[in-house]
Amino acid sequence: MILVGAAADIPVGESVRVQGSVAIAVFNADGTFYAIDDTCTHQDASLSDGWLEDCAVECPLHAACFDLRTGKPSGPPARKPVRTHEVVVDGGQVFVNETVEVGADAGADVAGVLGEGVR
């Protein structure tokens, strides 16, 4: 697992970038944490620099949008999903468990996220 940092240090509506086998963007969407690969699949742009709305991030380069729960793009110009990663909040600390393969949802039934006190 990758330590992201204290949950309190990632304000609602903000993101941070951490390094796994690739860069990973961790978002705080209304108090729920999500993690996806940081690089847009359309062109090399950092999604952590994008605009967060509800459970989607818009790429700052060409406005491709990705669902933070599934990694799937909502439409062109991106066609390929980004990987999603499991997020665990334990003792006020945020951790990312990096997913191995692209397209793996990391438990889309529960949005791929475990929140503080959820499980």
Position 6 in a domain: yes
- The model's pLDDT over 33-54, given as tens digits with 9 standing for 90+, comes to 999 999 999 988 999 999 999 9
What SS3 class is residue 29? strand
Query: Cα(107)–Cα(6) distance, rounded to whole angstroms?
Result: 23
The answer to whether residues 115 and 88 touch, using CB atoms and an 8 Å cutoff, is: no
The pLDDT of residue 116 is 40
Query: Cα(28)–Cα(5) distance, rounded to whole angstroms?
Result: 12
Domain holding 76, by residue range, is 2-97
Position 110 in a domain: no
Position 71 in a domain: yes
CATH of the domain at 18: 2.102.10.10
Position 38 in a domain: yes
The pLDDT of residue 101 is 60
- The model's pLDDT over 49-104, given as tens digits with 9 standing for 90+, comes to 999 999 999 999 888 999 999 999 998 899 999 999 999 999 999 999 998 764 44
Position 55 in a domain: yes
Q: How many domains does the chain have?
A: 1
Position 41 in a domain: yes
